[in-house]
Chain A
Amino acid sequence: MLADLLEPAAKRVLALLPVLLGVSLLVFALTAVGLGDPARAMLGQRADPELVQQIRRDYALDRPVHVRYATWMSRLVRGDLGTSYHQQRPVAEIIAERLPATARLALAATVVAVVGGLAAGVAAALRPGRLLDQVLMSAAVLGISTPVFWLGMMLSLLFAVWLGWLPVSGYGDGDWANLVLPALTLGAIHTGTIARMARSNLLEVIRQEYIQTARAKGLAEWLVISKHALRNALIPVVTVIGIGIADLLVGAPLTETVFAWPGLGRMLVAAVGQRDLPVVMGAVLVFAVIYVLANLLVDLAYLLIDPRIRRDR
């Protein structure tokens, strides 16, 4: 059983290596282009000579490009993402400070999306074509189409400004109340995607013979759904949770900006404004690695849940 799992799992991990290499090349290329003229990379006009020296030294700008990549890469694997122009301290340190807030928000948004999405998807699939189904699926499309930053503002207007139930924005020393609106906002797109996927999978499964058999046996409908249909219908949903991680990461800079949330996304936006290239590229890299690894985890989970996939590949 475990040996069965090991080989396909190892294959997936190995398949990631070229992708991660490509990701590092792309980020390096961007850094190299951005640094092409160090004076330009400086904060506008005031090209501090010391800073120019720092960039020359850090990025070995006078060396051939493959040497520069090797230097950059060897630092990277040791966790050295360079030094921020603006704050004059290690980028890795700055990112490590910001990561927990983003992780907290993303996790909360995932919980919102998975719980809300599954509930809506199952409820819709029980009576396809009926009013509840139509209302829920319209809401799902609406959720997918809503710009997160606008949704954030409207939720904040309604629940914080008008009703006064929740704080308008900010991290608030990690209070749960501060987390509610950002998590709802960030989870909205994802909720819609999961609801749609859960519904169509469940409908697909319900049509199959073994479900008809279970019904013919006289099994109660809720047992048919919960014990037989749901389990198989949920397997592809795991993939959607993986795809949704992209939505979460994409939404992070916007949601964090709307709610003044001290996370990685807001840091990235601020760094672009300050033309702090090492911080920008460090954050882009970290976002990409989180995304790739999260997808790997989803793949592995999929492997674990569905034995059929193990044999296929």
Chain B
Amino acid sequence: MTAEALGRSSGERRGRRLTIGAALVALFAASAVLAPWVAPYDPTAVPAALSDTMLRPPGPAHPFGTDALARDLFSRVLHGGRVSLALGLGVEAVAATLGVAVGLLAGYHGGWRDSLLMRATDVVMAFPSLILAIGLIAVFERPGLDKVALVLVALGWTTIARVVRGEILSLKERDYVQAARALGVGHGTILIRHLLPNAVGPIIVAATIGVGSNMIAEAGLSFLGLGAQAPTISWGSMLAEGQTFLTSAPWVAFFPGAALLLAVLGMNVLGDALRDFLDPRWRD
């Protein structure tokens, strides 16, 4: 295969990956936002005649079947996506802002501030993330989504802080930055106007993948009973219910997990594709 042919085919693949990733994310976002209007049933309503309609397999009336309380799983999966999306995005917005601030401060000033902030980053990163998250949640009296959000923010800033610091370290010695400094431009302006815009690409990539990780972490914690509590609908807690009925009603576990997989897959594929477009060093 010639180099040109290889280049063309991987270029096409990049484009296709971007489309697939963006389409999955768009589908996920749209179904989450529109859930209250699209969902055919009330996701929390428990019918009076429970035994007739509980644990029904997928069929025309209930495309994903029903759970042990006869609730429509399709409606619950749609509503569960709202929690997943809101938490994934919300946590990432705060964590990324924090990470950018830490990275800018450490990379720009250097010296003891850099050492201190980077050692703090090392310490947080010295824990396997979900393990530390479980430890942090144990400190609270009772679990809940708010604690999950807090904990994920506390753990989620490190990657972006490192990425930003690395970019700033290499950028701040450039001529244009030196020139701005020589002209008497303030530190704040140099950071925000001259340095930050150059680091936007890697930040977007890391944040996109971060949203997916947050969603997986939330589902994992909720699955373990340390996250969302009833009546809040989370894919993770739906999976925990599903495990109880795995042999008799496998659809209860299948659909929320498949939804989570597709949503996270979308985020990862989109993040990968964005990296190819934004950062030529990563092209193969």
Partner-B contacts on A (CB < 8 A): 18-20, 22-23, 25-27, 30, 33-34, 40, 128-129, 134, 141-142, 144-150, 153-154, 156-157, 161, 168, 200, 203-204, 246, 249-250, 253-254, 257-258, 268-269, 271-273, 275, 277, 280-281, 283-284, 287-288, 291-292
What residues of A have a CB within 8 angstroms of the CB of B212 in the complex?
A: 145
* A203 interface neighbour in B123, B242, B260, B284, Cβ under 8 Å: B284
What residues of B have a CB within 8 angstroms of the CB of A26 in the complex?
A: 123-124, 127
- A-contacting 9-mer, from B26-34, B105-113, B171-179, B222-230: B222-230
B257 at the interface (CB under 8 A from A): yes
- Least CB separation from B267: chain A residue: A145
Q: Are A30 and B126 in contact (CB under 8 A)?
A: no
Q: Are B135 and A281 in contact (CB under 8 A)?
A: yes
What residues of B have a CB within 8 angstroms of the CB of A273 in the complex?
A: 225
Tell me, rounded to whole Å, the shortest Cβ–Cβ distance linking A12 to chain B: 13
- A-contacting 9-mer, from B6-14, B59-67, B74-82, B94-102: B6-14
A147 CA to B258 CA, complexed, in Å? 9
- Least CB separation from A161: chain B residue: B247
Q: Are A254 and B220 in contact (CB under 8 A)?
A: yes
What residues of A have a CB within 8 angstroms of the CB of B224 in the complex?
A: 253-254, 257, 269, 272
What residues of A have a CB within 8 angstroms of the CB of B132 in the complex?
A: 284, 288
Tell me, rounded to whole Å, the shortest Cβ–Cβ distance linking A141 to chain B: 6
Q: Are B128 and A254 in contact (CB under 8 A)?
A: no
What residues of B have a CB within 8 angstroms of the CB of A257 in the complex?
A: 223-224
What residues of A have a CB within 8 angstroms of the CB of B243 in the complex?
A: 153, 258
A157 CA to B251 CA, complexed, in Å? 11
Q: Are B264 and A147 in contact (CB under 8 A)?
A: yes
What residues of B have a CB within 8 angstroms of the CB of A275 in the complex?
A: 138
* B257 interface neighbour in A22, A153, A269, Cβ under 8 Å: A153
What residues of B have a CB within 8 angstroms of the CB of A288 in the complex?
A: 126-128, 131-132
What residues of B have a CB within 8 angstroms of the CB of A246 in the complex?
A: 128-129
Known contacts A142-B261, A147-B257, then 8 further A-B pairs from the complex at CB < 8 Å, ordered by chain A residue = A33-B139, A129-B13, A149-B257, A150-B257, A246-B128, A268-B134, A284-B135, A288-B128
Partner-A contacts on B (CB < 8 A): 1, 6, 9-10, 13, 119-120, 122-124, 126-132, 134-139, 141, 212, 216, 219-220, 223-226, 239, 242-243, 246-247, 250, 253-254, 257-258, 260-261, 264-265, 267-269, 272, 284
A271 CA to B261 CA, complexed, in Å? 29
Q: Are A250 and B129 in contact (CB under 8 A)?
A: yes
What residues of B have a CB within 8 angstroms of the CB of A269 in the complex?
A: 134, 224-226
Q: Are A250 and B246 in contact (CB under 8 A)?
A: no
Q: Are A147 and B128 in contact (CB under 8 A)?
A: no
Tell me, rounded to whole Å, the shortest Cβ–Cβ distance linking A225 to chain B: 16
Q: Are B122 and A157 in contact (CB under 8 A)?
A: no
The 9 A-B pairs at the shortest CB distance, nearest first, are namely A150-B257, A22-B123, A249-B128, A284-B135, A145-B265, A250-B130, A129-B9, A34-B139, A280-B138
Q: Are A254 and B223 in contact (CB under 8 A)?
A: yes
A230 CA to B136 CA, complexed, in Å? 42
A271 CA to B129 CA, complexed, in Å? 18
- Least CB separation from A44: chain B residue: B141
A165 CA to B20 CA, complexed, in Å? 36
- Least CB separation from B263: chain A residue: A145
What residues of B have a CB within 8 angstroms of the CB of A200 in the complex?
A: 284
A136 CA to B186 CA, complexed, in Å? 51
Tell me, rounded to whole Å, the shortest Cβ–Cβ distance linking B6 to chain A: 6
Q: Could you jot down 18 A-B contacts, CB within 8 Å?
A: A19-B123, A22-B120, A26-B124, A33-B139, A34-B138, A134-B13, A145-B212, A145-B268, A146-B264, A147-B261, A150-B257, A154-B257, A203-B284, A250-B129, A272-B138, A281-B135, A283-B135, A284-B134
Tell me, rounded to whole Å, the shortest Cβ–Cβ distance linking B201 to chain A: 19
- Given the known interface contacts A23-B126, A129-B1, A254-B224, the answer about A150 and B268 at a Cβ–Cβ threshold of 8 Å is no
Q: Are A145 and B261 in contact (CB under 8 A)?
A: yes
Q: Are A250 and B139 in contact (CB under 8 A)?
A: no
What residues of A have a CB within 8 angstroms of the CB of B219 in the complex?
A: 147, 149
A249 CA to B126 CA, complexed, in Å? 12
What residues of B have a CB within 8 angstroms of the CB of A30 in the complex?
A: 135-136, 138-139
A253 CA to B225 CA, complexed, in Å? 12
Q: Are B261 and A150 in contact (CB under 8 A)?
A: yes
